[in-house]
Amino acid sequence: MGSLSELFAPESVAVVGATDREGSVGRAIVTNLRDEFDGSVVPVNPNRESVLGLDCYPDVGSVPDAPDLAVVVVPPQIAVDAVEEAAEAGVENVVVITAGFSETGSDGAARERELVAVAEEHDLNLVGPNSLGVMSTPVDMNATFGPEKALPGSLSFMSQSGAFITAVLDWANDQGLGFKDVVSLGNEAVLDETDFVREWGDDPDTDVILGYLEGIDNGQEFIRTARDVTDDTPIVLVKSGRTDAGAQAASSHTGSIAGSDEAYEAGLEQAGVQRVETVQELFDYARALSGQPLPDSDGVAVVTNAGGPGVMATDAIGDSRLSLASFSDETISALQDALPDEANVYNPVDTIGDADIERFRSAIDVALSDDGVGAAVVVSAPTAVLSFETLAEEILALQEKHGKPVVTCLMGGESTEAAADVLREGGIPNYFDPARGIRSLEALSEYRDIRDHTVEPPAEFDVDRERARDVLRGAKRRGDNRLGVEAMDLLDAYGIPTPEGDITDAPEDAVSVAQDIDGPVVMKIVSPDILHKSDIGGVKVGVENEDVYDAYEDLITRARNYQPDATVIGVQVQEMVDLDTGTETIVGMNRDPQFGPLVLFGLGGIFVEILEDTTVRVAPVGRDEATEMIDEIKAAPLLRGARGRTSADEGAIVETIQRLSQLVTDFPAILELDINPLVAGPDGVQAVDIRLTVDTDKL
């Protein structure tokens, strides 16, 4: 059991601010608790003798045994004191319903800081403030002021919107969808989404963790926790504020600083979270994951009595990560035996409109027996020869017999209701629309891969951290926060290959560096103030040794003429990189407010600038993840020998991504970094140019 088990299963609950005034929150909570709760309910209010027939205490300290949980509904001005008093009386779990904290401006924010200080001092498990409350069905506890109570079930649900909980419960009760715990997270002053993910991951009675979130406070901790939890328990989230308009609305709603949705997308995927976009998907996923086993394989059998709807189901499979199963010869011959001549014995199996229950049953049975079938969808139009209810019972029995996931599309209205009840009881998702049924199977397949996926620990390369720190401090020494090619040594310190060469600050040095390099060289002006070097003629390509001296002087002159007050560090003299056999790629990084360092990979030029063909991961990035990043790029075939090119050394790219990941994880001072281009050739990679921004205070 998790550390919050007492919060959800207290033996006694104090309601601080209990009252019987009609329409008040205090009354609503006492009523909700008194009516059903297995434990004892203790109203606390210095102005009352009793509330709704229960003995009332003036303060929590006066209650004979310290309650396990205090629900605080007093006005904001006295809420912090009330929490402190409860803590001093020995209460360890507190739900602050009271609003008027950080969501209301600076006074409220100050009040919230006081609340956090009290919670930390007493090591409180504190939900809220500004929360609708919490529920837990095993002990029949409804410690919310909402009008609805959850049905018992195995879903645990958290929400940053209290109203959304009210709406969902109203609807779910109608749908027969049950919950284990429900939490309205409120302002998350103390306990946040990560705490509840951890708690429910440890809870044997929670089969699926659901959430509506507008922001995640600490992305890195969330990823670590969720990765661990999703080995046993699926997590399905709506993270809203996906779009620019939505993010702005979310930010004005909860006051959260909007991180980029790209970071959430990457972070949630790395966390093993199944992110969905709509309310409908959230609960469709919940139903499937809580009701059905996971498929061993992705081959789906479609069994129907109606050709057209069978085609629709097949289309939906074609749109999904699943595939239409190919039947074995035995299956086909068994179907031929079981079905009339006009039937289609190939997948999708069409048992024909006059199929009775026995024919339909046999076809499903045979299809589920095929080893190539991981799951089945049964699609039925209403016909005179078929009772949906009997069909539902047969399907339940077959699902149990074969232990493979099954979803149904009993297509109709009222005529399906009794059957739908049977299927719901048995945990089989049933929708009119075949596309929703297939999506449910997809949810199972996704989670199977998440459960089976092992995240390898990121490699720890042997690097020269001190040398890297020294390079980064170069910016600080110059009173700047930007670094350019003068930071190539940073890459060298972290084992990322760079072309031969050096920064020189005298023409003689340039000549001497050039002489050590085979063949002609590239020379570039080095100045943090000159961003577009090529535009001012600050780059010379293919310079022969005998021209290096003059080229040096010319570059310096051009820089001075262009911008007399520019800081000029010198001239970089660099080996020519073979761009004929190599492909220009980009490896970069920026820092997200919630998730920290985001590592980016893409092909250079038009692929980044016009086609936006890039992919990101939250660092640290392991080898498998770095490899996936290359796979995700649409233009990846260009690295793999498409159109007569020589294949690039992918291993070297993967290693560069990992080394960069280690660098930006080691140095929180690096705010942004781009290696552009990283030229990937058949014999390895070379980082030709670099640009970065640092937070000098962190060095």
Binding residues for its own copies restricted to 274-293, rule: CB under 8 A: 277-280
Q: Does 397 bind its own copies (CB under 8 A)?
A: no
Of the listed pieces 242-250, 291-299, 484-492, 504-512, which binds its own copies according to CB under 8 A? 242-250
Distance set, CA 625 to CA 8, 252, 266 (Å):
37, 34, 11
What are the DSSP calls for 233-276, one per residue? S-EEEEE---SHHHHHHHHHHH-PPPPPHHHHHHHHHHTT-EEE
Query: Which position among 14, 95, 209, 306 is part of the footprint of its own copies (CB under 8 A)?
Result: 306
> Distance between CA 18 and CA 43 in Å, rounded?
5
Distance in angstroms (rounded) separating the CA atoms of residues 275 and 291: 19
SS (H, E, C) 426-473: CCCCECCCHHHHHHHHHHHHHHHHHHHCCCCCCCCCCCCHHHHHHHHH
Which member of 323, 369, 481, 646 binds its own copies (CB under 8 A)?
323
Q: Which of residues 328-367 bind its own copies (CB under 8 A)?
A: 342, 344, 346, 348, 350, 353
3-state secondary structure of 116: helix
User: Min. distance of Cβ 627 from its own copies in angstroms?
Assistant: 19
- Supply the minimum distance, in Å, between the C-beta of residue 30 and its own copies: 16
> Alpha-carbon distance 354 to 360, whole Å?
10
For residues 594 to 613, the per-residue mask of contacts with its own copies, x marking binding by CB under 8 A and - elsewhere, is -----------xx--xxx--
Per CB under 8 A, the list member of 78, 249, 463, 699 interacting with its own copies is 249
**Candidate segments 202-210, 249-257, 356-364, 400-408, binder of its own copies by CB under 8 A:** 249-257
Nearest CA among 669, 679, 671 for reference residue 639: 679
Contact 382, 388 (CB under 8 A): yes
Q: How far is the CB of 52 from its own copies (least distance, A)?
A: 17
What number of residues does the chain have?
699
For its own copies, which is the closer residue by CB, 528 or 538? Answer: 538
Binding mask 104-133 for its own copies (x = CB under 8 A): x-----------------------------
Binders in 402-431 for its own copies, by CB under 8 A: 411-416
Residue 613-642 contact track with its own copies, rule CB under 8 A, x = bound: ---------------------xx-xx---x
* Binding region for its own copies (CB under 8 A) out of 53-61, 194-202, 299-307, 514-522: 299-307
Residue 183 to residue 186: CA distance in whole angstroms: 9
660 vs 252: CA distance, rounded Å = 35
Q: Which of residues 170-189 bind its own copies (CB under 8 A)?
A: 170-175
Restricting to residues 250-269, name those near its own copies by CB under 8 A.
250, 252-254
Please tell me the distance from the alpha carbon of residue 77 to that of residue 131, in angstroms, as a whole number: 17
Under the binding rule (CB under 8 A), the answer on residue 67 touching its own copies is: no
Candidate list 164, 461, 549, 562; residue touching its own copies; CB under 8 A = 164
For residues 230 and 248, give the distance between their C-alpha atoms in angstroms, rounded to a whole number. 30
Q: Is 303 in the site for its own copies (CB under 8 A)?
A: no
Q: Tokens in use for 655?
A: 């290693």
* 580 forms part of the interface with its own copies (CB under 8 A): no
Could you say whether residue 681 binds its own copies (CB under 8 A)?
Answer: no
Report, in Å, the least distance between residue 19 CB and its own copies: 16
Nearer to its own copies, 255 or 474 (CB): 255
Q: What tokens were used for 202?
A: 């440890």
**Closer residue to its own copies in complex, CB, 455/635:** 635
Among 312, 363, 543, 616, binds its own copies (CB under 8 A): 312
Shortest CA distance to 76 belongs to which of 37, 104, 54, 39? 104
Residue 370 makes contact with its own copies by CB under 8 A: no
Stretch that binds its own copies, among 88-96, 262-270, 432-440, 514-522 (CB under 8 A): 432-440
62 binds its own copies (CB under 8 A): no
Residue 226 vs 238, nearer CB to its own copies: 238
Among 93, 137, 240, 445, binds its own copies (CB under 8 A): 240
| 53: number of Cβ within 10 Å | 9
CB of 173 to its own copies, least distance (A): 6
CA diameter of the chain: 101
Which residues 435-494 are close enough to bind its own copies by CB under 8 A? 435-436
Two tokens at 148? 């609805």
Q: Measured from the CB of residue 46, what is the shortest distance to its own copies in angstroms?
A: 27
**49 near its own copies, judged by CB under 8 A:** no
Instruction: Restricting to residues 18-37, name those near its own copies by CB under 8 A.
Output: 23
Cα angle 638, 642, 646 (rounded to 5 degrees) comes to 80
Closest CA to 304 of 356, 360, 346, 367: 360
For 7, 21, 45, 148, 225, the CA distances from 26, given in Å and listed in that order, are 19, 8, 10, 16, 35
State the Cα–Cα distance between residues 265 and 187, nearest whole angstrom: 23
Q: Which of residues 128-157 bind its own copies (CB under 8 A)?
A: 147-148
Binding test (CB under 8 A) with its own copies, winner from 93, 154, 161, 498: 161
Contact in structure between 651 and 459 (CB atoms under 8 Å):
no
Q: Which tokens is 473 given? A: 């401090």
What is the nearest approach in angstroms of its own copies to the Cβ of residue 18?
18
